Amino acid sequence: MAWTKPKIRATFGISEAEALATKEMAFNQGFYNLFLAIVTVTGIVFLSLAILPSVQRSSSQARAPWWPPLWCCWRRVQTRRPPISSRVSFRS
């Protein structure tokens, strides 16, 4: 949006013709950086929501692991059930 303004062009050391030629690319990169920032902030929020409750509990209480792939197996670990049945049947 401000890519073609003199102050921005001076910052990046490009001419007015180069700024006009790369205006769409700069606009696209701006949105790319915006979405990267949104995803980063969202990840930090979700990670803090997962870690903070486990930090605030007393150490005597069982804690669910904060790493997301472990959440799916937490119930099996808590009840001491193996993830795969140990009974194997062979047909002869």
Average pLDDT over the chain reads: 74
Contacts of 8 (CB under 8 A, 6+ apart): 2, 19
Whether 51 is in a domain gets the answer: yes
pLDDT at 31: 92
Range among 20-29, 41-50, 64-73 with highest mean pLDDT value: 20-29
Whether 42 is in a domain gets the answer: yes
Of the CA atoms within 13 Å of residue 35, those in its CB half-sphere come to 5
Count of domains observed in the chain: 1
Residue 28: give the domain boundaries. 6-79
Whether 74 is in a domain gets the answer: yes
Residue 28 in tokens: 């696209």
Whether 90 is in a domain gets the answer: no
Whether the predicted pLDDT of 42 surpasses 60: yes
Render pLDDT for 48-73 as a digit per residue (tens, 0 to 9): 777 666 555 555 555 555 555 555 55
